[in-house]
Amino acid sequence: MKRIKIDRSKCIGCLTCTTACIVSHDCVDNRSRITLSSKGKYAPIFCRHCDKPECVYTCMTGAMRKNPDTGIVEYDKNQCASCFMCIMACPYGVLKADSENNREIMKCDMCQYTESKSPQCVARCPMHAITLEEV
Amino acid sequence: MEVKQSTCNYCALGCSLDFYVEDNKIKKILPTKDYPVNDGFCCIKGLNLNKQCRKFKSSKLPLLRDKSGKMKVISWNEAFETFASRMKSIQEKHGTESAAYLSTGQITTEEMALLGFIGRCCMQINGDGNTRLCMATAAVAHKQSFGFDAPPYTLKDFEISDTIILIGANPVVTHPILWSRIRENEKVKVISVDPRESETVINSDLWIDIKPKSDIVLFYTLANVLIEKNWIDREYIAKYSEGFEGFKEHVKKYSLEDVEEKTGISSERVMEFAKIIHNGKKVSFWWTIGINQGYEAVRTAQSIIDLAVITGNMGKEGTGANSITGQCNAMGSRIYSNTTALYGGRDFDNPEHRSEIASILDVPCEVIPKKPTIPYNQIIDKINSGKIKALWVIGTNPRHSWSNNEEFEKAVQKLEFLVVQDIYDDTDTSKLCDLFLPSVSALKKEGFFINTERRLSAITPVLKKEEGELTDYDILLGIGRALKVGKPLEKWKTPRHAFELIKEFSKGMPCDITGIDYEMLVSSKGIQWPFKKGDILSSDERRLFEDNKYFTPNGKVKLIYEDAAKNPFTQTEKFPYIFNSGRGTVGQWHTQTRTREIEFVKNSCLTDAYVFLNYKLAEKLHIKENEKIMILSANGHKNEFRVILTKNVKEDQLYAPIHYIETNSLTPSIFDPYSKEPSYKYVPVNIAKVSEVRS
Amino acid sequence: MTYVVIGASASGINGAKTLRELEPDAEIILISKDEYVYSRCILHHYISNKRNIDALNFSEKDYFKKYNIKWMKEIGVDKLKDTENEIELSDGSRVSYDKLLIASGASSFIPPVENLRSANNVVGLRNLEDAQKIKDAAKKVKNVVVLGAGLIGIDAITGLLGYGLNISVVEMNDRILAVQLDKYAANKYEDLFKKNGVNLKLGVRAEKLLVDEANNPKQLLLNTGERIPCEFVVVSAGVRSNTAFLQGSNVEFDKFGLIIDERGQTNIEDVYGAGDVTGRNPIWPTAVKEGIVAASNMVGKKLLMTDFFGSKNTMNFLGLATMSLGNVSVPDESYKEEIETKDGNYKKVIHKDGIIYGAIIQGDLSYAGILTQLIRRKINISAVKKSIFEVDYSDFFSIKENLEYTF
């Protein structure tokens, strides 16, 4: 599967990835974020589409599923019951609900359903801090 | 749900944005597809324009400081009367020019024009803009060399050029959409001239790591090499330029022999650079604030223009000597604010221009100012020397952004009357004022901006004003009425009226927009000037000088040069390091009054002032990362900064983001002799240890 | 090779799928009392008509066909003959197995309050049948009492809110959801319930259920002497593991439930267990993981259960979400409690010597998952220079070879 490789030393905190994520999904919330560590270093916090996804294990409606072919952890917002167990389960604190209705989980979908079909954060990052790699 | 198209009001790219509005609330903002500037993308700032004035809400009504020092709410009428009466009484007591104003490059052109009328014609006072701090140099360089302040390019040139030379510019951070257009240009070679390894340098093909402020020497040396090798366009020079012989002699003084000592660039590398310029078929030179803020900035900018001219890289697609503008409507200010130039880029001392403007405005000729405004630094000096007693600050934050900003603090103490007109009552400057006039953001305004490539675009009201809220335009009219301007004020009744006046101001000038009706700007691709009455829009992306006709009296571009000046500062034992400053991140804008409200930005930016220090220097001085150090400046002030270690600045140089007030407490009171723009980017400093960062 | 799985909920469904993923050719039989595959965590959405039975299904579309699993539904298991590798079903038939996965879950516990166990119209909320009974009753009765304000009880109440009934909830503790919430967080929900017309009876006990001649509930008598009119009672007093069928077998179980090791194996080699039947850490993610772990080991692929952190929960009802982790109040004075109420959100973190032991986040739960790990792994956060409420993964950032994060 393809996973987004993160090289935090190249990140300049320009938030182009955040912008790209929001724009490509036609919404107001980001599905990934950039924070600063206590030492002042940028930390791109992105969904890893884990091999052992805690969000999938914890989802009690089947809304979170790992696609065995692409490896992408997919989220079905219509099946979701907004119980937020996944938000709690993600060990890296990647997830949150939408800001308007607090209902839909902002889940990285590798831009599968956007026009481009490939991650726009990767396409737009000016420093190549995030790249798509086969793992 | 309504979708309203408007223009971003942060940087000078002027990206178009679609605002999704329901019940007078912005539900989401998405960048406009197919807009010539940004085609469906934007940066994090524009995407979050709706976050302004949400967490930090200011008083909707004006505030007046009472005798006990408290700010009290007053009505708009009382505010206008107070303004008028106090200004009048100070002018009566201390002279007409004992009042002045400082404006901004971020209000609509209509507002700038109206302010230019009220301040300069009605009140007869001086008024400069914060554009003095970033673009004055480019404006003066253009005016002298081209004959008019006319950036000649269109953004598409970034995609066409085969050799892009960026000088003192860091578009990855300052104009991200511009950088994304360079990225789309697969074949281009990008050369960056910058003393530090900026984000743009990292992505460039070649880094010219110039010694700070030695650019003019490099460019004259390059010109010398190009002329010697005959790598110039003799035809272009002969037909379309003037001053070449003098220029040729002048640059002979700048040889390869001592170029390395002066610029840090070896003769081999300078030769390589010259070759690159020669081999390129479409070479474009782009400069921004690294050049504009200097003690010989205008001449340096002109040395860039000279290079473009002598190599024939002008007037063709993908070429040019191109200044990139900073603020969303600095261009509007340069032409229509009636401060540095008479309306429409005209001359205050030209009798024909004066009477034309007087008749458009329906005022007597005497009322039109006889000369340009005194510049920002002189306004501050005159406050300090007691000649100016009243200051009106509109949409800018000088307490933070002025170079050597403690001087502004000192000046304010001397004022009898400080008026601040802003959307926030808690900026570093607002907090000091006697009268606060709250305006609303551009989300509630109607008007237009002009972007860096001369593109006029509409600002449409996305939200409705609430009860009691006024735009800057409304406030200016209120002041005008209180000042009893009378009948001439009716010509300015609404922003649309102002638009018509502006059109007339532009008539016959290079910036002629008599062919544009306001409706043509709404929900459109914007229209670049010039667009005269009767013109047909052939393209959404036009450039100037394709006909090789410049705006000088004889139609030729002037090659202007001067001996490299001596740096007023040098590194000494007392102040051995060079302090440079500039933008830090994409998300932070200037003094952060608006971007502080964007969560994405807040969560990824340091809250306290920081400085980039080279690893090796830190080691020598036993300084650890995140430690707090004291930086002592040759300007006499000192301040604390958190240390971030990097290899991207040279060992004897420091770089601090401008978004923290501490940075400009250290910058110098040195100004370019022609543009009067402050030379922010070079001041010698020293470092002292303070303590560990407190957790 | 025949694998038999008992139970079609979190453990059973995930276990059977894992078996098939690792064993493409073996025979896999799944036996369940349930007629449908449904998530017991959202039965209240069925009660409130938010979802139909189909929408309760957490398994993949055409799960049984896709994974080639033979499903024997609506059948219980009466007896386990481990020495013969055989189970006896409720319809009299017998099924042989090579490996068995017991994922039979648990059932509602009705406490020995007088008449409670014998009366009509008294149900738990564990199965779809319970939910159906509640749904049917809601259209007919006027007064409902929910016994116990734990998670199930609260689910029942929220499911019933739209029916215009008089709902009373009887709870022994001084607040609802006493295990997961502190007083402040609980009060916020209590206020919302009150606004929705729910009668909260806190700090009281049920003494007796008074019934009429037809043995239908009439009133619930409390220890305070108060009588609450009710025609229907939903009991939320805990569950007991479904281990009855193990009587007479050699498989070990105790008062909590089936005993398994970290590989999901019981004391009997071919018999494994997973989920609520163990009576330990009865939360969904544990059930899922135990099912996967057991199935893995059943096939011979070693996999150990490592996540035993069970005191973690989120809830979202009446427009307010809360996340509860670990200790919700200070165990003793040596622990510190940090509280922040901002913009309508409530955050409470309990820590000691740089380690977080518990947290309640109410309102905006964005990115709160990091706390789960910090508590579970007892990660020291002394070096983190941020507000304890702003801790995020950036201070633990580390990338594995396969580009995933790690701590």
Spatial CA neighbour of B94 closest among B410, B381, B388: B388
Segments making up each domain of chain B, as ranges:
2-51, 71-130+328-448+459-503, 152-324, 577-691
Coil, strand, or helix at residue C204? Answer: coil
> What is the chain B residue with the closest CA to A101?
B27
Q: Provide the shortest C-alpha distance from residue B621 to chain A (in Å).
A: 20
Which helix (H) or strand (E) covers residue C267, if one does? Answer: none
Q: What is the 3-state secondary structure (H, E, C) of B196-229?
A: CCCHHHHCCCEEECCCCCCHHHHHHHHHHHHHHC
> Which residues in B289-302 are b (16+ Cβ under 10 Å) and which e?
bbbbbbbbbbbbbb
A135–C403 CB contact, under 8 Å: yes
- For residues C101 and C294, the answer to whether their CB atoms sit within 8 Å is yes
Q: Provide the shortest C-alpha distance from residue A4 to chain B (in Å).
A: 20
The per-residue pLDDT for range C340-355, each reduced to its tens digit, is 999 889 999 999 999 9
- For residues B212 and B582, the answer to whether their CB atoms sit within 8 Å is no
pLDDT of residue B691: 57
Retrieve residue C116's tokens: 């409670």
B71-130+328-448+459-503 placed in CATH 3.40.1440.10: no
Retrieve residue C38's tokens: 């449904």
Q: What percent of chain B has pLDDT over 70?
A: 99
User: Can you tell me the mean pLDDT for B164-175?
Assistant: 98
- Rounded CA separation A98/B27 (Å): 13
- Rounded CA separation B586/A126 (Å): 12
- Rounded CA separation B441/B472 (Å): 9
- Rounded CA separation A57/A52 (Å): 8
Query: What are the counts of helices (DSSP H) followed by strands (DSSP E) for chain A?
Result: 4, 6
> What is the chain C residue with the closest CA to A98?
C366
pLDDT of residue B690: 83
C404–A54 CB contact, under 8 Å: no
Q: Which of B202, B586, B644 lies at the smallest CB-CB distance from A15?
A: B586
The long-range contacts involving C130-135, CB below 8 angstroms and separated by at least 24 positions, are C130/C43, C131/C43, C131/C44, C131/C46, C131/C47, C131/C159, C132/C46, C134/C47, C134/C159, C134/C160, C134/C232, C134/C234, C135/C46, C135/C47, C135/C49
Residue with tokens 């409130």, as numbered in its chain: C48
Give the residue ranges of DSSP H helices in chain A: 16-24, 54-58, 85-89, 120-124
- For residues B109 and B502, the answer to whether their CB atoms sit within 8 Å is yes
CATH for B2-51 is: 3.30.200.210
- Rounded CA separation C273/C246 (Å): 12
- Rounded CA separation B678/B667 (Å): 9
- For residues B297 and B473, the answer to whether their CB atoms sit within 8 Å is no
* Topology annotation, domain B152-324: Dimethylsulfoxide Reductase; domain 2 (3.40.228)
Contacts of B644 in chain A (CB under 8 A): 40
Is A131 an interface residue toward C (CB < 8 Å)? no
User: Which of B273-282, B318-327, C25-34, C304-313 shows the lowest per-residue confidence on average (mean pLDDT)?
Assistant: C304-313
B28–A34 CB contact, under 8 Å: no
**Interior CA angle at A50 toward C405 and C364, to 5°?**
80
Is A29 an interface residue toward C (CB < 8 Å)? no
Q: Which of A13, A18, A127 lies at the smallest CB-CB distance from B605?
A: A13
> What is the chain A residue with the closest CA to B41?
A23
Beta bridge partners of C360: C324, C348
pLDDT at residue B692 tops 50: no
The per-residue pLDDT for range B637-681, each reduced to its tens digit, is 999 999 999 999 999 999 999 999 999 999 999 999 999 999 999
Residue with tokens 């008019």, as numbered in its chain: B148
Spatial CA neighbour of A58 closest among B559, C14, C22: C14
Beta bridge partners of C229: C219
Residue with tokens 């020019």, as numbered in its chain: B97
- For residues B169 and B204, the answer to whether their CB atoms sit within 8 Å is no
Contacts of C321 in chain A (CB under 8 A): 84, 97, 102
Q: Which of C284, C397, C402 lies at the smallest CB-CB distance from A43?
A: C397
Look at the alpha carbons of C73, C77, C78, C82 in this order and tell me if their dihedral is positive or negative: positive
Coil, strand, or helix at residue B621? Answer: coil
Domains B152-324 and B577-691 share a fold: no
pLDDT at residue B694 tops 80: no
pLDDT of residue B695: 42
Chain-wide mean pLDDT for chain B?
97
- Rounded CA separation B424/B447 (Å): 21
**Side-chain-side CA neighbours of residue C372 (13 Å):** 30
DSSP state of C145: E
Retrieve residue B77's tokens: 């009428």
pLDDT at residue C304 tops 60: yes
pLDDT at residue B436 tops 50: yes
- For residues A6 and A44, the answer to whether their CB atoms sit within 8 Å is yes
pLDDT at residue C174 tops 60: yes
User: Can you tell me the mean pLDDT for B346-373?
Assistant: 96
Exposed/middle/buried for A38, CB within 10 Å: 0-12, 13-18, 19+?
middle
- Rounded CA separation C196/C48 (Å): 15
The per-residue pLDDT for range B563-585, each reduced to its tens digit, is 999 999 999 999 999 999 999 99
Coil, strand, or helix at residue C187? Answer: helix
pLDDT at residue C50 tops 70: yes
pLDDT of residue A116: 83
Kindly report the length of chain A: 135
> What is the chain A residue with the closest CA to C370?
A93
User: Can you tell me the mean pLDDT for C201-215?
Assistant: 96
Radius of gyration over every alpha carbon of chain A, rounded to an integer in angstroms: 14
Retrieve residue C75's tokens: 């059948």
Q: What percent of chain B has pLDDT over 90?
A: 99
- Which of A9, A11, A12, A127 is most worth mutating to test chain B (most B CB atoms within 10 A of its CB)? A12
Coil, strand, or helix at residue B112? Answer: helix
Retrieve residue B52's tokens: 């302004």
- Rounded CA separation B131/C124 (Å): 73
A89–C364 CB contact, under 8 Å: no
Contacts of A133 in chain C (CB under 8 A): 403
User: Can you tell me the mean pLDDT for B102-130?
Assistant: 98
**Side-chain-side CA neighbours of residue B296 (13 Å):** 21
The chains in contact with chain A, meaning 3 or more Cβ pairs closer than 8 Å, are: B, C
Exposed/middle/buried for B392, CB within 10 Å: 0-12, 13-18, 19+?
buried
pLDDT at residue B67 tops 50: yes
- Helical pair B136-146 and B297-310, crossing angle rounded to 10 deg: 40
Q: Provide the shortest C-alpha distance from residue B604 to chain A (in Å).
A: 5
- Rounded CA separation B26/B521 (Å): 22
Q: Strand (E) positions, B410-451?
A: 417-422, 435-438, 447-450
pLDDT of residue B666: 98
pLDDT at residue B372 tops 60: yes
pLDDT at residue C276 tops 80: yes
Retrieve residue B407's tokens: 């001087």
pLDDT of residue B106: 97
A19: left (phi over 0), alpha (psi -120 to 50) or beta: alpha
- For residues C224 and C204, the answer to whether their CB atoms sit within 8 Å is yes
Contacts of C314 in chain A (CB under 8 A): 83-85, 87-88
pLDDT at residue C135 tops 80: yes
The per-residue pLDDT for range B544-555, each reduced to its tens digit, is 999 999 999 999
Distance of alpha carbon A23 from its chain centroid, rounded? 14
CATH for A2-128 is: 3.30.70.20
pLDDT of residue B314: 98
Give the residue ranges of DSSP H helices in C161-318: 183-195, 284-299
Q: Which domains does chain C have, with CATH numbers?
A: 2-107+239-299 (3.50.50.60), 122-235 (3.50.50.60), 312-396 (3.30.390.30)
Is A1 an interface residue toward C (CB < 8 Å)? no
Please give the C-alpha separations between residue B176 and each of A12, B151, B594, B596, in angstroms, as whole numbers.
Answer: 12, 20, 19, 19
B577-691 placed in CATH 2.40.40.20: yes
Residue with tokens 């740089």, as numbered in its chain: C354
Contacts of B642 in chain A (CB under 8 A): 40
C-alpha dihedral (B471, B475, B481, B482), degrees to nearest 10: 160
B92: left (phi over 0), alpha (psi -120 to 50) or beta: alpha
Retrieve residue B392's tokens: 């009106």
The per-residue pLDDT for range B304-320, each reduced to its tens digit, is 999 999 999 999 999 99
C-alpha dihedral (C363, C364, C370, C376), degrees to nearest 10: 10
The per-residue pLDDT for range C13-22, each reduced to its tens digit, is 999 999 999 9
Distance of alpha carbon B623 from its chain centroid, rounded? 35
Contacts of C49 (CB under 8 A, 6+ apart): C135, C162
Spatial CA neighbour of C50 closest among C124, C131, C107, C130: C131
Beta bridge partners of C210: C219
Query: At B215, which amino acid appears?
Result: D
Spatial CA neighbour of A86 closest among A120, A43, A57, A115: A57
The per-residue pLDDT for range C232-260, each reduced to its tens digit, is 999 999 999 999 999 999 999 999 999 99
Q: Name the stretches of chain A with pLDDT < 50.
A: none
Spatial CA neighbour of C265 closest among C305, C294, C290: C294
Q: Give the global pTM.
A: 0.95
- Rounded CA separation B317/C285 (Å): 62
Segments making up each domain of chain A, as ranges:
2-128
Spatial CA neighbour of B652 closest among B196, B305, B321: B196
The per-residue pLDDT for range B596-642, each reduced to its tens digit, is 999 999 999 999 999 999 999 999 999 999 999 999 999 999 999 99
